[in-house]
Amino acid sequence: MSRENTKIFKALSDTSRLRILKMLQAKSLCVCEMQDVLGLAVSTVSKHLSILRDAGFIIEEKEGKWVNYMINPHPKDLRISSILSSLDFWISDEDIIIKDKKKIKNINRHIVCAK
Domain range list for the chain: 3-105
DSSP one-letter code for 60? E
In order along the chain (115 residues), what is the average pLDDT of each group of 10 residues?
Answer: 85 97 96 96 97 97 92 94 92 94 92 84
Residue 32: closest CA among 15, 17, 18, 49: 49
| pLDDT attached to residue 54 | 95
3-state helix, strand, coil in the chain (%, to 5): 65, 10, 25
Amino acid at 65: K
| pLDDT attached to residue 114 | 82
CATH entry 1.10.10.10 includes domain 3-105: yes
